[in-house]
Amino acid sequence: MKTTPPWNRRAEISRETSETAITVALGLDGEGRADIATGIGFLDHMLTALARHGLFDLKVRAKGDLHIDFHHTTEDVGIVIGQCLRQALGDKRGIRRYGAAVIPMDEALAEAAVDISGRPFLAWSVSFAQPKIGEMDTELFEEFFRALAFNAGITLHVTQKAGTNAHHVAEACFKALARALREAVEPDPRAASAIPSTKGVLEA
């Protein structure tokens, strides 16, 4: 039986710059519904996997300067998803706080570990044998994960344990993030409404 927190863990944020216009709606206690349109096909595919395996309801609309490259759009989508995650979590009462997952994708294996600590950090130990997947530069995945982690205020470690196929490696990383976040944001039935910190507060 699904346990839903008594508070509304949803957020919708829009961000517009001279480079991009992004709107994201995120529900943490969803069913994995994804409605994604960034103009970058492979990023859409990865965000759909993030929603589905995190059981988040995620809607993303992005318009960016794709005629230049995909960097600004990819990074800014990460920024706004991270901001939505931070807002939806509120003061983080009653959550598990920590989450980790190891996900296989054929020959690839990736691990993600999350601490919803309020202290933003990304440790990225992932390498790609190919510079692009379709039209997307593989170096942009690190930019997305960093933008999400720093704007959500989470500590995030992503480690590639195996894999040579760039598509498989990237997908394993996104699915590992999804599962780790799903665990970390989940209400802890033993914690009631306590903040999961000996300090009594998780830094904003």
- Indicate the domain borders of the chain: 10-185
Q: Answer yes or no: are the C-beta atoms of 124 and 163 closer than 8 Å.
A: no
Please give the pLDDT value at position 113.
98
The 10s digit of each residue's pLDDT in 126-180 is 999 999 999 999 999 999 999 999 999 999 999 999 999 999 999 999 999 999 9
Please give the pLDDT value at position 195.
65
74-86 burial code (b ≥16 CB/10 A, e <16): bbbbbbbbbbbbb
Residue 57 has pLDDT above 70, yes or no: yes
Q: How confident is the model at residue 196 (pLDDT cuts 50, 70, 90)?
A: low
- Higher confidence at residue 2 or residue 64? 64
Please give the pLDDT value at position 5.
53
What's domain 10-185's superfamily in CATH? Imidazole glycerol phosphate dehydratase; domain 1 (3.30.230.40)
Q: How confident is the model at residue 189 (pLDDT cuts 50, 70, 90)?
A: confident
The tally of CA atoms less than 13 A away on the side-chain side of residue 133 is 21
Mean pLDDT of 3-29: 88
Please give the pLDDT value at position 201.
57
Cut 0.75: pTM above it: yes
